[in-house]
Structure 1
Amino acid sequence: MPSLLITVLFLNIAIYVINTIGAATIDSLLWLLYIKLPTGTSHIAREQRRLKLDVVQLKREMNATSSQDEFAKWAKLRRRHDKALEAYEAKNDQLTQSKSSFDMTIKSVRWAATSGLMLFLQFWFSKTPIFTLPPGWIPWQVEWVLSFPRAPIGTVSIQIWGGACATVVALVGDAMGATVGYVSGPKKEREGIKVETRVGEKEGKKGQ
């Protein structure tokens, strides 16, 4: 089944990318995008940021005002500060609860769309061969292993194909990461040498 073959491959690529980047990083990026949308949560986020700025500004004004020489002004600022702080904490609690619900939803959707879907496919298509091997191409013992657990002998099961895809994707991903690191490494070293050279030249001029 070519479509199933490609689906399993892309699922393994998606799982590898998520694990490499980090689920927490992806969740944070999605949250930032979500609060930019015209929703009730985005309104709460804007109010929370505005109140935070108000609290900081009022705190600065309080610190710049003497509580002894200008007590009336200081007391008025203190009341405004406490009121703004209370409102900020209330909005912050609402935003925290919204983020917790958002994170839970994203985690559930991500698991269902990747690992959950993979488990479902492996169960539902456990008897379906991904592709058929040429007759007599390999020993029957190897054919039995490749068809494990329930695919017909002489074929490759979805479980074996999924494991092979995961291994190859990980190897290719690690190789690409190592290549990028190797290429960018000398460039960073050259930049470091240039900086050290400039610093040395400046110190030499000062010494003269």
Structure 2
Amino acid sequence: MSLIFTIFALVFVTQLISWIGQSVLLEITYALYLRVFHSTTDARLRKLKTELLTTKSELLQTSAQDQFAKWAKLRRSVDKGLADLEKLNSEISSTKTAFSVKFNSVIWILTTGLQFFVGWWYRKSAVFYLPQGWFGPLGWWLAFPFAPTGSVSVGVWQMACKRVIKIGERVVKDLVGKHASTVP
């Protein structure tokens, strides 16, 4: 793939992640990760919650004065279930924290880090050349910092791509907003 399309794809993926939201992507991928790699823990958590809700509803229907032995047994069961649930939730919370750190690192590497690397690697390369005299004395700015004069540098091309994508985002949001407001 040519440099011009590679940079556009990197900027587009970065903006797409920004539109969706990194926290939303984290929640979706973590739920998938939990179901795939920690399915027993996830199943145990769902089972424990179901049992706890059932026992708690039975406890609420039992009179503490009339059926004290049954009520006390249910109360101990609910307390034990809550303790187990808290322990399981702390395990899942620590797993989520570790996953979050790894996920955010991967997202940073795939977006910002990769853009920095491409910008550094191709810092002296021209993304494309402009016809002579199109921008007059401002032509040097398009080649800033290290690209040959009369060309567009990687950094400038990244900024231009980001700007065009943001304008496209606004246009799509306006069109969707207008369409949504006209539909009854």
Q: Verify same fold: TM over 0.5.
A: yes
1:31 maps to a residue whose letter is Y
Is the counterpart of residue 70 in structure 1 residue 70 in structure 2?
no
**Number of equivalent positions:** 184
Deviations 1:134-168 (CA, angstroms, capped at 9, x unpaired)? 233331x2210000011111111000000000000
CA contact (8 A) 2:35 2:42 kept: no
Is the counterpart of residue 178 in structure 1 residue 154 in structure 2?
no
Is the counterpart of residue 115 in structure 1 residue 112 in structure 2?
yes
TM normalised by structure 2 equals 0.95
Alignment counterpart, residue 86 of structure 2, candidates 66, 89, 103:
89
Residue of structure 2 in register with 1:11 after alignment: 10
| Cα RMSD (Å) | 1.2
- 1:21-32 matches, cutoff 5 A: 21-32=20-31
Gaps in structure 1 of 5+ consecutive residues: 191-208
Gaps in structure 2 of 5+ consecutive residues: none
Residue of structure 2 in register with 1:204 after alignment: none
After TM superposition, give the deviation of residue 73 of structure 1 in Å.
0.5
What CA distance in whole angstroms lies between the structure 1 residues aligned with 2:102 and 2:150?
Answer: 42
What CA distance in whole angstroms lies between the structure 2 residues aligned with 1:68 and 1:108?
Answer: 57
Identity of aligned residues (%): 35
Residue of structure 2 in register with 1:146 after alignment: 142
What CA distance in whole angstroms lies between the structure 2 residues aligned with 1:42 and 1:17?
Answer: 30
Larger Rg: 1
After TM superposition, give the deviation of residue 35 of structure 1 in Å.
2.0
After TM superposition, give the deviation of residue 30 of structure 1 in Å.
1.1
After TM superposition, give the deviation of residue 15 of structure 1 in Å.
1.3
TM normalised by structure 1 equals 0.85
CA contact (8 A) 1:44 1:94 kept: no
What CA distance in whole angstroms lies between the structure 2 residues aligned with 1:86 and 1:137?
Answer: 72
Is the counterpart of residue 101 in structure 1 residue 111 in structure 2?
no
2:5 maps to a residue whose letter is I
What CA distance in whole angstroms lies between the structure 2 residues aligned with 1:172 and 1:19?
Answer: 14
CA contact (8 A) 2:147 2:153 kept: yes
